[in-house]
Structure 1
């Protein structure tokens, strides 16, 4: 298993904890953006697969998440999260300016990654969106009109068909197990609208992977958003029976294989056109 090195930087709203899994002779940099309520420490197996594939992997715990500073899961403006992510990307570019950068975002991190690509797509070689919160998310639609946020724990069976995933999620002290913050719900709604209104991803090669049985971020709502941002080079893979966390699903090896095969195709095409 690849070993992570932790570092910290001054983010927009406080200290941001970040990790890097370094490859000996990397072919590219993979930047990870995690989902709501979780942290990058849950992505060690993803980083390990990417390091073995030839990547140096890095990413932050978003503000208010994991080991980063801030009130838990409070995000008042997702442009701040995008700015923190850009700091990580720029650090990677400063360290290895010769390497292409692939951005991989899951769930809320998929929304952040899509927004990042709209704002800074010129620094990316490829984008991977896993179960991204885009288009219409019923969680936001249901919570936005409420004055008080309900404290209803997530049904961990919706994460994966592998029950050990839900058990680990429940036992993880760095995972948020409480209710949404109203300001975060408003910020999610604003970011979803901003992504919709900003336009397509242009020529950026993009892979969208999603579980067909995703009950946390249902496929139909995400497809609305994908149709609004899709550019000229979109690859779509929907996994029958898979739930929300496709990187943690019972067919995780297939999913990670599809991701690395997509990256290979993009890198080979970029090299041949250089």
Structure 2
């Protein structure tokens, strides 16, 4: 296992489709590869410092944005009306990495809603990626979306933080984080999520792009069976699947996170040119 090292993140801002987007970067010179992190709904990239540290120690320069309406980026909180715009903003971050590190392979790692965004990115810009990692991705069939869309008014019910990880400290930190959204879903965002899941299903295979899918068997937020239908829809020629027994939604924050991150770095090693 690579020993994580502490590297201070650099923050920079660019004009996104809907306003200013804040991006994060953890430098490494010279990099073996660029790791692009794509965070989930309601959170921000600052929650991935420990993931960046492991990837940094593995030889990567690590980067990624706070999506529009999330974290340090501009916009009404958690309001996204079109995830194609989010993919476009993500592409701006990848293009900047290409300018700074020409010819260096790019690996994209997306969690939950970020896994959905990363999968859509791979469908649009897959030729730019060397490998793709999807963690608990919102793909295929997410019954929570249908349930929310059926309601006249979306209730303000906070997330059960026990569903994040078997480590109770993860839930406590999530609840105390001022950059995490603790309010209800917004209907335009739910509609945009549903439209994007359907678009990904319709687009089909990722082709030859090496893809690692990691998921907790006890993921109650994004259940395994619904995601599996989406994985089957985009499955390409090179898919690796790792299901962790009893793990919950945030496998990068789980009690066996060292095992999970070790599997990620081993997958990357197998696929770097």
TM range (shorter): over 0.9
Q: How much has 1:24 moved relative to structure 2?
A: 2.5
Aligned-partner Cα distance in 1 for 2:129–2:74: 27
Q: Given the alignment, which residue of 201, 226, 232 partners 1:227?
A: 232
2:184 is the counterpart of 1:182: no
2:38 is the counterpart of 1:29: no
Q: Given the alignment, which residue of 30, 41, 44 partners 2:46?
A: 41
Q: How much has 1:108 moved relative to structure 2?
A: 0.1
Paired position in structure 1 for 2:60: 55
SS in 1 for 2:86: helix
The number of residue pairs the alignment matches comes to 268
* Off by >6 Å, runs of 4+ in structure 1: none
Aligned-partner Cα distance in 2 for 1:146–1:87: 36
1:207-226 matches, within 5 Å, as 207-226=212-231
Consecutive unaligned residues in structure 1, runs of 5 or more: none
Aligned-partner Cα distance in 1 for 2:114–2:199: 15
Paired position in structure 2 for 1:162: 167
Consecutive unaligned residues in structure 2, runs of 5 or more: 1-5
Aligned-partner Cα distance in 1 for 2:95–2:127: 12
Q: How much has 1:138 moved relative to structure 2?
A: 1.4
Paired position in structure 1 for 2:119: 114
Q: How much has 1:142 moved relative to structure 2?
A: 0.5
Q: Given the alignment, which residue of 70, 73, 81 partners 1:76?
A: 81
2:180 is the counterpart of 1:172: no
CA RMSD of aligned residues (A): 0.5
Paired position in structure 2 for 1:9: 14
2:249 is the counterpart of 1:244: yes
TM-score normalized by the length of structure 1: 0.97
Paired position in structure 2 for 1:19: 24
TM-score normalized by the length of structure 2: 0.97
What do residues 53-96 of structure 1 show as CA deviations (whole Å, max 9, x unaligned)? 00000000000000000000000000000000000000001111
